Amino acid sequence: MAGGGEVRVLGVWPSPFVMRPRIALNLKGVEYEFLEETLGNKSELLLRSNPVYKKVPVLIHGDRPICESMVIVQYVDDAFGGAALLPSDPYDRAVARFWAVYIDDKWFPSLTGIVKAESEEAKAEAVSQVFAGLQLLEEAFEKCSNGGNGFFGGDAVGYLDIALGSYLGWLGASEKMIGIRFLDEAKTPLLAAWAERFKADAAVREVMPETDKLVEFAKVLMAEWKSAGPPAN
């Protein structure tokens, strides 16, 4: 195995963040052991490996833990051979990192805001933000792919594809739950076609959760949020 040392990934199946290192390792052809954490009951290995945030994913290479999903993706890119996940040009690398941060900090919170909305007005605003973000990402795809490549970074799945593509399962679950199609071929044709290519990639298929399973899991989460009530002042 390239890179040397045993590779393990700590995670839970519904997490888009856990998908990221698994896709990266698959793309690099690295064998690894996936250690499923029990939801709501963090293992001693997880707490020891990520004492700061105490959350998944964690990649353990040999006896060295690496935390935070996109940090892990970059580590996998640097530590193992095979096709590069990040662009070679410094500017293109910076652009890819910029959009990855935007996806996590701005776009995905608007998606989760739909199911967390406590009013129809808040729900409508969150839906609007999801569409607006996808339009920005449509434009980013056209620029990053040079208008003709199949993926953000070229003709194969790369860093930015992993960043956005890991959310496609939850995007599909949201579409099914609220009856709105977000990846519309008429509005965002490039992203719609890209999403199908991404999900069909061999490195992605085996780790992409089924939509129906995510919907059922989301219903459980929503019930827990409602039972917990609003946070105390």
pLDDT single digits (tens) 158-200: 999 999 999 999 999 999 999 999 999 999 999 999 999 999 9
Q: How far apart are CA 182 and CA 110, in angstroms?
A: 13
* Sheet-wide strand order for 33-36: 33-36, 7-11, 58-61, 64-67
Cα(125)–Cα(119) distance, rounded to whole angstroms?
10
Domains of the chain: 7-79 (3.40.30.10), 90-216 (1.20.1050.10)
Kindly report, residue by residue over 19-34, the tens digit of the pLDDT.
Answer: 999 999 999 999 999 9
d(CA 136, CA 24): 25
- pTM of this prediction? 0.93
Q: List, for residues 3-23, the tens digit of each pLDDT value.
A: 567 999 999 999 999 999 999
Give the residues across from 151 on adjacent strands.
154
Mean pLDDT in residue range 134-147? 94
